[in-house]
Amino acid sequence: MSEMDRAAPKNNRRRKTGPLKPITVERSALYYLQRFAASEAGLRAVLQRRVERAARDGRCDRDEAAGWIEPVIEKFKRLGYLDDAAFAETKAVSLRRRGDSARKIRMTLSQKGVDTELIDSALAAHDESVDGDAELVAAARLAQRRRLGPMRSPEDREDRRTKDLAAMARAGFSHRIARQVLELEDVEALEAVVRGEEID
C-alpha cells in the first residue's frame, strides 16, 4: 500500500478544537451576525447551543460559559449589530413582499423572540407605506406566487376554489380577503391589486 493510500483524506480528519473561551463566544456571535440578520433572542439561542456543544465535549464549564453570553449580547446591542426594532422592520417588509399575512408575520417574529409592541410597530410602519390595503396586497402577492385563483386557467378555477381558499386560510388571511383575491376576474386585475389599486 502506498503512502497516499495510507493517508486519511483531509476532509475526513476532524479539526482539533481547543477550549471554549469568552473571545471564542464573541467571535462566533460576530461571524453569525455577518451572515444572518438576527434578533437578540435568536443570537442568544445560537450562542447557548454553541456553549452546550462545547460543554458536552468537555471544552468548557457549562455554567461559567453560559455567563459569557449576555455581555456579548449587550456589547453588540451597544455597537448597533443587534437591534430588534430594525430586525422586525426589515423582516416585516421582506415577508409582506413575499405575500405573508399580518397574522403569519406576527407568529414568525414572535417565534424569533421579538417583542409584540415592536412587531406591531414594524407592521404598522410598513402597511402605512403601502398603496391600498396592505393585507389585500399581500394576499394578491401570495396568489401570484402560489398561482392561485386568477392565476389558474379558467377551466381549473372553479374546481380548485376550495383548495385555494384553504391555502389562503393556512397562510393566515381572513375569509373576506381570500375571497376578494380569488374572485378577481383575471391576472390583470390581480396585478392591479398588487400595485395597490382599488378594486370594485
Whether residue 102 is predicted with pLDDT greater than 90 in this model: the reply is yes
Give the Cα separation of 158 and 179 in Å (integer): 13
Whether residue 96 is predicted with pLDDT greater than 70 in this model: the reply is yes
What residues does each domain of the chain span?
A: 19-79, 84-128, 134-194
How is 75-98 classified by DSSP, letter by letter? HHHHHTS--HHHHHHHHHHHHHHH
Give the count of alpha carbons within 13 A of 26, CB side only: 11
Residue type at 154? Answer: P
Predicted pLDDT at 14: 47
Which three three-digit cell numbers place residue 180?
Answer: 376578494
Please state which of the four CATH numbers 1.20.1740, 1.20.120, 1.10.8, 1.10.10 is assigned to the domain occupying 84-128. 1.10.10
Q: Report the percentage of the chain scoring pLDDT > 90.
A: 84
Whether residue 16 is predicted with pLDDT greater than 80 in this model: the reply is no
Given a contact cutoff of 8 angstroms between Cβ atoms, the answer to whether 39 and 122 are in contact is: no
Give the Cα separation of 187 and 15 in Å (integer): 55
pTM across the whole model: 0.81
Q: What is the mean pLDDT of the chain?
A: 90
What is the average per-residue pLDDT within 176-180? 96
Per residue in 111-167, pLDDT (tens digit) is 999 999 999 999 999 999 988 899 999 999 999 999 999 999 988 898 999 999 999
The H or E element that residue 112 is part of is none
Determine whether 174 is exposed, middle or buried from the number of CB atoms within 10 Å of its CB (0-12, 13-18, 19+): middle
Q: Report which of residues 200 and 171 the model is more confident about.
A: 171
Give the Cα separation of 141 and 100 in Å (integer): 8
Composition of the chain by helix, strand, coil, percent to 5: 70, 0, 30
Question: Can you tell me which residue has the cell 417565534?
Answer: 111
Residue type at 181? Answer: V
